[in-house]
């Protein structure tokens, strides 16, 4: 922690950063979109690169003094292409949402039809949900999961694509615990003349490590965040076929953004190098192994799992079967040292702010070196929480046990 100067300049802020660091150290973090970056990624992200403005692209900037920034961006692009087998890459998007918006902007105009997975069935806001700009500016139609299996209904996808002829079909999810058949989506997109965009934000690290099928051979464009399972800084990235590179690059800049965040680009480059190692491949497979074991342990303890289990990093649990709802359960878990988020489940009769489920993920706990024995402990603690939502003494007792376990699994990048 580089806190010497911050502690002198702004003690209040320094204290908040320290408290957040301690929280990340002492809790079991089960939010599937969160992780721990390495000390190397932290150093790159907190470097003097934050001082430099670099509007444009490498070799074609509007500011001078880009000798080293250009090389950093080129390095990040090359590493992204090599890691994912992509023809082209753009590493400038500020996050996953602008990356998705750039993909739409490259191929659509306001009012054009786009198609994506419904938010309340596991999709993302930017896949065409009404409260997002993607659902407001475009004519968004949304496919759903099968009501019995809670798997993507590929027959519905094909039927809706034929009916609505979307300009863009979006595949990918934010709360879907199973593998996605990208080949089927590609077949449907070709049939109706649509551009296939895959949002792999959640599974990018799994794809990089060979623990999930890659969308890159099938999709025209692949968007992703660079944190989550990829274990990089908070940023975005777009992979695409060469034929679409000009349109995508123009959509990112000058279409949606100004200068890229060079310190983030450097952090992305470091994370991509780390993700190309055998160690990371083992990590990606361990994420899935832990998620499957956690799901099995929860099932044994009477929790209802959406789709019955998981194939990836994510477990979606319908806690209403335990006689509680998602929001109070997530808050009780947090007090007990188990960090998750409440989440809707498919065909959820409850409102989004107090839905029936919670969403769990294993990227962060796997980064700490936890394995099957710890997944069993987590499932046991969750069962105890479900029986003690209003029992603060019991929740505090569990929190102490969680903290004790965390002491034996150092968090990457955290030195206090």
Tell me whether residue 71 is one of the annotated catalytic residues: no
Pick the catalytic residue: 52, 61, 234, 250? 234
- Only one residue has tokens 């929860």, namely 298
CA distance 389 to 386: 6
Spatial contact of 230 and 204, defined as CB atoms under 8 Å apart: yes
The number of angstroms, rounded, from the C-alpha of 143 to the middle of its chain's C-alpha atoms is 21
C-alpha dist (Å) from residue 109 to 114, 128, 198, 250, 251: 10, 14, 19, 14, 12
Residue 254 CB contacts under 8 Å (≥ 6 apart), including other chains: none
- Only one residue has tokens 């990048």, namely 413
Pick the catalytic residue: 225, 226, 264, 265? 225
Tell me whether residue 199 is one of the annotated catalytic residues: yes
Tell me whether residue 334 is one of the annotated catalytic residues: no
Pick the catalytic residue: 53, 57, 94, 154? 53
CA distance 179 to 197: 16
Tell me whether residue 331 is one of the annotated catalytic residues: no
| 140: alpha, beta or left? (left if phi > 0; alpha if psi -120 to 50) | beta
C-alpha dist (Å) from residue 190 to 183, 279, 298, 408: 11, 37, 40, 51
Collapse the DSSP code of 268 into the 3-class scheme (helix H, G, I; strand E, B; otherwise coil) and give the result: helix
Pick the catalytic residue: 55, 70, 376, 401? 55
Residue 397: both structure tokens together: 């007792």
Tell me whether residue 223 is one of the annotated catalytic residues: no
Tell me whether residue 55 is one of the annotated catalytic residues: yes
Pick the catalytic residue: 25, 79, 178, 228? 228
The number of angstroms, rounded, from the C-alpha of 164 to the middle of its chain's C-alpha atoms is 29
Closest to 237 in 3D by CA, of 348, 132, 89: 89
* Residues marked as catalytic: 53, 55, 199, 225, 228, 234
């Amino acid at each position: 922690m580089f806190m010497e100067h911050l502690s002198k300049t702004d003690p209040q802020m320094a204290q908040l950063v320290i408290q957040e660091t301690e929280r990340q150290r002492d809790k079991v973090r089960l939010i599937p979109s969160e992780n721990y970056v390495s000390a190397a990624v932290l150093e790159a992200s907190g470097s003097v690169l934050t001082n430099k403005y670099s509007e444009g692209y490498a070799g074609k900037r509007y500011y001078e003094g880009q000798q080293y920034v250009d090389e950093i961006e080129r390095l990040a692009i090359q590493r992204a292409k090599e890691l994912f087998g992509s023809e082209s890459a753009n590493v400038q998007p500020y996050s996953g949402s602008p990356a998705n918006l750039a993909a739409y902007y490259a191929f659509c105009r306001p009012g054009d039809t786009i198609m994506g997975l419904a938010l309340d069935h596991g999709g993302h806001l930017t896949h065409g949900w009404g409260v997002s700009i993607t659902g407001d500016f475009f004519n968004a139609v949304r496919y759903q999961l099968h009501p019995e299996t809670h798997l993507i209904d590929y027959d519905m996808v094909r039927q809706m694509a034929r009916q609505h002829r979307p300009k863009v079909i979006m595949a990918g999810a934010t709360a879907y615990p199973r593998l996605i058949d990208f080949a089927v989506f590609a077949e449907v997109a070709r049939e109706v003349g649509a551009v296939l965009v895959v949002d792999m934000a959640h599974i990018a690290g799994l794809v990089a490590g060979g623990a999930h099928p890659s969308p890159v051979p099938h999709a025209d464009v692949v968007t992703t965040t660079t944190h989550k399972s990829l274990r990089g800084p908070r940023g975005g990235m777009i992979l695409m076929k060469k034929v679409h590179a000009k349109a995508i690059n123009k959509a990112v800049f000058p279409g949606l953004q100004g200068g890229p965040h060079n310190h983030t680009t450097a952090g992305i480059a470091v994370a991509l190098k780390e993700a190309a190692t055998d160690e990371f491949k083992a990590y990606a497979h361990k994420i899935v192994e832990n998620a499957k074991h956690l799901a099995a342990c929860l099932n044994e303890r009477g929790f209802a799992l959406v789709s019955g289990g998981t194939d990836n990093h994510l477990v979606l649990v319908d806690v209403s079967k335990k006689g509680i709802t998602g929001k109070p359960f997530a808050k009780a878990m947090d007090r007990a040292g188990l960090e998750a988020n409440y989440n809707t489940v498919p065909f959820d009769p409850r409102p989004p702010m107090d839905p029936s489920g919670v969403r769990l993920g294993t990227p962060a706990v796997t980064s700490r070196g936890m394995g099957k024995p710890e997944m069993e402990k987590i499932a046991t603690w969750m069962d105890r929480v479900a029986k003690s939502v209003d029992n603060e003494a019991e929740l505090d007792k569990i929190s102490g046990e969680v903290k004790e376990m965390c002491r034996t699994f150092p968090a990457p990048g955290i030195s206090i």
